[in-house]
């Protein structure tokens, strides 16, 4: 995918609907050169000690949101990032990070208002808590998908002590749940493949493609989720670029899943290499009109459902 991303950057042609990806997490490092120029607006729902003040979205509580954003832009370097920082606290007994359902609801509502095409949520909330706030969160997730066509990706819970049905947003039918896979394209040991929609790389992943030898890799279904969100955003972009008539067919959860199905193996692992291959490097950006557009149109035709045929033909 790195080679294809390089190829895409060289295409200067603009699309009508620039793809916005909302990263709902712990904020973002606004000075990270990998993503700084991709940040569109940002907002924080993380309350300061004074309830009337908010912690800045560009000064994160950790590096998780920055990592997720970097992975999304690694797959789709033209993404416009909408950054929403969640409210969170640490459990006194375990020190575990806990996200508040109320801030998640507010963040999703904000992302909808900003026209997010894709929402990436690489976290889970145990639904066995505040019933009212959880119900409000479920309600806004349903609204995002049914009323606005927002494509939402969420991570499978890597915490073995929480059942999948108790995890929000993963238990919401409106979302696409992603689990981590090994370099051998099999589910990681902590992932229940029956509880996910797709598997993406999520074990020993280097966040920076230009990482120096010895750089520590990262693992988890959150990593896989960011990669899936990036791929969805990329598909939305290249469909407009090469076959705009197909764009309405992929501009939905069902359309993206149909494209993923064409790349997925029986075990749900999404294979991209056979589609986003090195052949695209043969066409330098100045050859876009001569050969590149045709090749990209063929790729889109192979993945996106023909609107004249439909999803249920």
Which residues participate in catalysis according to the annotation? Answer: 25, 64, 222
Q: Which residue bears the tokens 């042609």?
A: 13
Q: DSSP state, 185?
A: S
Nearest to 152 by CA among 195, 116, 185: 116
Backbone angles phi, psi at 8, to 5 degrees: -65, -40
State the first-to-last Cα distance of the chain, in angstroms, to the nearest integer: 31
Closest CA to 6 of 209, 201, 203: 209
CA 245 from chain centre, in angstroms, equals 24
Beta bridge partners of 284: none
Nearest to 60 by CA among 44, 73, 71: 44
* Residue 310: CB atoms within 10 Å: 9
User: Which pair of tokens denotes residue 55?
Assistant: 């912690």
> Rounded to whole angstroms, how far apart are CA atoms 146 and 140?
10
Measured distance CA(280)–CA(103) in Å, rounded:
42
């Amino acid at each position: 995918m790195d080679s294809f991303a390089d190829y895409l950057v060289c295409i200067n042609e603009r699309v009508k609907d620039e793809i916005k990806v909302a990263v709902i997490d712990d904020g973002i490092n606004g000075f990270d050169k990998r993503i700084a120029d991709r940040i569109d607006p940002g907002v924080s729902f993380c309350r300061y000690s004074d309830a009337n003040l908010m912690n800045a979205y560009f000064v994160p509580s950790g590096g998780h949101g920055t990592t997720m954003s970097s992975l999304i832009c690694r797959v789709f370097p033209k993404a416009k990032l909408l950054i929403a920082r969640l409210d969170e606290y640490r459990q006194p007994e375990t020190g575990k990070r806990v996200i508040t359902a109320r801030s998640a609801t507010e963040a999703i509502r904000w992302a909808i208002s900003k026209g997010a095409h894709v929402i990436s949520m690489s976290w889970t909330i145990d639904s066995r808590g505040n019933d009212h706030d959880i119900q409000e969160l479920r309600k806004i997730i349903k609204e995002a998908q049914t009323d606005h066509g927002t494509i939402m990706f969420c991570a499978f819970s890597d915490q073995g002590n929480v059942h999948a049905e108790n995890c929000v947003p993963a238990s919401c039918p409106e979302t696409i749940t992603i689990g981590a896979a090994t370099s051998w394209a099999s589910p990681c040991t902590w992932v229940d493949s029956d509880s996910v929609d797709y598997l993406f790389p999520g074990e020993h992943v280097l966040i920076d493609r230009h990482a120096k030898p010895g750089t520590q890799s990262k693992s988890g279904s959150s990593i896989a989720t960011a990669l899936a969100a990036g791929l969805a955003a990329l598909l939305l972009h290249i469909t407009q670029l090469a076959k705009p008539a197909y764009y309405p067919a992929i501009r939905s959860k069902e359309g993206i899943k149909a494209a993923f199905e064409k790349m997925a193996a029986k075990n749900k692992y999404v294979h991209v290499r056979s589609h986003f291959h090195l052949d695209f490097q043969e066409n330098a950006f100045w050859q876009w009109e001569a050969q590149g557009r045709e090749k990209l149109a063929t790729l889109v035709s192979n993945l996106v459902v023909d609107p004249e045929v439909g999803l249920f033909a």
